[in-house]
Amino acid sequence: MNTARNTVLEAWMKEHGHSSNSLADAVNKALERLTGRTGGLDGSSVRDWKAGRVKWPKTATRKALEDVTGLSATALGFVPRGRAPSAPAPPQEDPETMKRRTLVGGIAAAVAAAAAPGTAPPRRIGMNDVDRLQTRFAEIIASDHRQGGRLGLEQRAAALADEALNLQNAGSASQRVRSNLYAAAAAFRSSAMWAAIDGRRYGDAKAHMREAQALAEMSGDQAIKFRIWSHAGTMYRHMGRPADALAANDVARNLHITRRDPLFASLGHARQAATLGLAGDTAAVQRALGYAQDTLGRADRSLARPVWMTAACDGAELETLALAAHLRLGNFGRAEAHAHRSLTLLRPQMQRDRAINTVRLAHAQLAQGAAEAATATAMKVPAITATRHARVSRMLQEFGAALRATAPGSCTVQTWNEHTSAVWRAFRP
């Protein structure tokens, strides 16, 4: 008997930007939360669902899939066992066949009614919906750590912000749930903002910032307000506008959360130090880094905090920002020391930050006259990151220009030129 494709599931996956592999990963994580054991699904499992070869997944898998999507299995196009005829119907339908056909038709009609705007009965939006969004937010943060400011990441984050807002109108909800939905939308929009900053698309970043700020105000969430204003400070710093960067950082540093949680205070002081480095204020940089180190020492690192604060919790973010500040000030020896410490503290999954700090280390070494060591350091940046991440590419171009100015015509310059030519030939976007 021919199997019918599950076009409803295919449509949902396309709408939410899921490949077969990414949906399998999301369901595996949901299974682990439900059962305590990691799921064993892969892309081929999802392809079996789409092709109609598996019409009704196992109970735990169905529940995990429903947690991920927020929809029932039947609303996703799956058909319970026994609902469809198991053999071709005879030419003359008997009463039982007619009953089964009517039942299957009723299921299809129910699915169609759920998809039709304005016809579905209102549902209760709850913390399960918020938890599902938070899982997707963790996926966005993980992608940012790996890839940085790709346009696709920015677009996915913006789409998820819209999805969180759409839930506000999808049914009834408590005030707590509604506040959490606004916070989730603000979080996704802040990630879209950061991806645009990281990709040097500053006009888009400012548009995301304005929407994120409005959503954060409606949520009342202090942590996401801190993230948005801190990102604004970083954006203005990258744009070469230190006065605006300092003003944005001051908004973040004056939020109540920095008085409740020393870790937020530490991050605020460290980001202020990086901006003060751009302004060339050595004494202020030293003072801000001292405050950052002191408050980090008083923070209880065992407390649960937003997933985007991972690097702040282990001190890697403080070292990274100290590196940026001292590099701006021309304190190249101190910058090199902070670079080595940051690379030691950064977790393996933080590939973008590792690439950026590796290039900063190369700049610090070159400025101290160690051209050969600096070139060897710069060549450690993974080729795919060197060619496809806007900030890293620009920083490597600046390194090459500084190397040629420092050691013109040397073997080291020749080595660097050959390396970059080979990388761009192999990984041209």
Q: State how far the Cα of 29 lies from the Cα of 26, in Å rounded to an integer.
A: 5
Question: In the prediction, which pLDDT does 427 show?
Answer: 63
Question: In the prediction, which pLDDT does 98 show?
Answer: 45
Cα dihedral sign, 345-348-349-355: positive
Using H for helix, E for strand and C for coil, what is the string for the chain?
CCCCCCHHHHHHHHHCCCCHHHHHHHHHHHHHHHHCCCCCCCHHHHHHHHHCCCCCCCHHHHHHHHHHHCCCCHHHCCCCCCCCCCCCCCCCCCHHHHHHHHHHHHHHHHHHHHHCCCCCCCEECCHHHHHHHHHHHHHHHHHHHHHCCCHHHHHHHHHHHHHHHHHHHCEECCHHHHHHHHHHHHHHHHHHHHHHHHCCCHHHHHHHHHHHHHHHHHHCCHHHHHHHHHHHHHHHHHCCCHHHHHHHHHHHHCCCHHHHCHHHHHHHHHHHHHHHHHHCCHHHHHHHHHHHHHHHHHCCCCCCCCHHHHHHHCCHHHHHHHHHHHHHHCCHHHHHHHHHHHHHHCCCCCHHHHHHHHHHHHHHHHHCCCHHHHHHHHCCCCHHHHHHCHHHHHHHHHHHHHHHHHCCCCHHHHHHHHHHHHHHHHCCC
Per-residue pLDDT of the chain (429 residues; tens, 9 = 90+): 456 889 889 888 887 778 888 888 888 888 877 777 777 888 889 999 998 888 889 888 888 888 788 778 888 888 887 654 333 333 344 444 444 444 434 433 433 444 444 444 567 888 999 999 999 999 999 888 887 778 888 999 999 999 999 988 888 888 899 999 999 999 999 999 999 999 889 999 999 999 999 999 999 999 999 999 999 999 999 999 999 999 999 999 999 999 999 999 999 999 999 999 988 899 999 999 999 999 999 999 888 889 899 888 889 999 999 999 999 999 999 999 999 999 999 988 888 899 999 999 999 999 999 999 999 999 999 988 888 888 898 999 999 999 999 999 899 999 999 999 988 776 655
Question: In this structure, which amino acid lies at residue 107?
Answer: I
Question: In the prediction, which pLDDT does 366 show?
Answer: 97
Question: In the prediction, which pLDDT does 303 show?
Answer: 87
Question: In the prediction, which pLDDT does 428 show?
Answer: 59
